[in-house]
Amino acid sequence: METIRTRVCVVGGGPAGVMLGLLLARDGIDVVVLEKHDDFFRDFRGDTVHPSTLNIIDALGLRAGFDAIDHKPLRQLDVVVDGIRLHAVDFTTLPPPNDSLTLMPQWDLLDLFADAGRQHPSFGLRMGTDVTDVVRTNGRVTGVVARSRDGDLRVDADLVVAADGRGSTIRDALRLEPAVNGVPIDVLWFRLPAPEVPMPDTLAWVTGGTMLVTILRPGYFQCGMIVAKDSFDGIRAAGIEAFRERVAGVVKLLSVQLNHLPEWWVPGALLIGDAAHAMSPAFGVGINYAIQDAVAAARILVPVLRGDADPAAIDRACAALQRRRSGPTLLMQGIQRVVHRAINRRPRRILHSPPTRRERRVLRIVLPIARRLLPRLAGYGFRPERLDF
């Protein structure tokens, strides 16, 4: 078995893991990121890059590389309710220059972060390396063991960071159980061809008790249909053959989860991103919050790791990270639960066409508030992190 030694071992090469590896290496901290897949080229559900993440990209000096990648800025998003188009989200109300939400394939974003990390000699990224367990010494986590094409690997580290998502292997190995919030919905993902005639950027279509999310990708729409929790088997068995013939092979079920760990750390190990708190698709903030965790973790950990990496000091830093990030996370999850309940209980008709006088009065009040509140909520979340270290 090959054995390597590093200061920090990050498990999971998603946005949180690669960003944390980059930030630690940028400050001279030896870090190894382990990713179980051979590359980043996979069909991610979240391709949104939020204004707060764009601010971090700017601070890292990566904007030129980012702009060179094919992407689509979204400054406004419409919602179509019962056939009526509402201009509901206006990102131009945010401070420039990052006054837009950007759609970029997540694999391109991860490649950008990984390439930036490789510019630092203290950064290591091992693809195709599947972590199977943690190593403990006198009750403290002191490393991980993994499998790769080249054989078994052991990584000894002063700190193991689990950034391996909602199905975290590290979390399972540590026998940590998240507190689960009941979610009444799932999302049925499928593709539809993009129309030949360009259409306004539309976040969602709501009609007849159904909500459909549409995300424009090159040449097609990635669509997410909101369905009742655990209803997918019934949908498949209902005999909707025309639907199944059109989307067979591209329909995937995203089982919506909303949970959080009571404790984000144990001695020698820290959990961030979805490994610590699975977010729902509401507002698309999962990537944003994962990256914010990584930035906060780097700010808090770097001063400790630059020294002699005293185990007690590392644990105090991990506890401090949870204190900083758990509040914003729980606040956002609370709002997501409200959205879930509203979606699950939505009436068959929300607006008439044309809207009634009462509906017009409500829209005149609600829409201006939504245009200013929703961009800040989705674009920054609560307590956005900055690179000020």
- pLDDT tens digit sequence for 107-157: 999 999 999 999 999 999 999 999 999 999 999 999 999 999 889 999 999
pLDDT digits (tens, 9 = 90+) for 281-298: 777 788 899 999 999 999
> Which are the contacts of 269, defined by CB distance < 8 A and separation ≥ 6?
134, 141, 159, 160, 161, 162, 170, 174
CA 152 – CA 129 distance, rounded (Å): 9
Which residues partner with 134 through β-bridges?
A: 144
Tokens for 14? 């998603």
- Reported CATH class of domain 2-66+98-181+258-344: alpha beta
pLDDT score for 284: 76
pLDDT score for 249: 43
pLDDT score for 256: 62
pTM equals 0.87
Residue spans of the domains in the chain: they are 2-66+98-181+258-344
The answer, yes or no, to whether residue 66 has pLDDT greater than 60, is yes
End-to-end Cα, the chain, rounded Å: 38
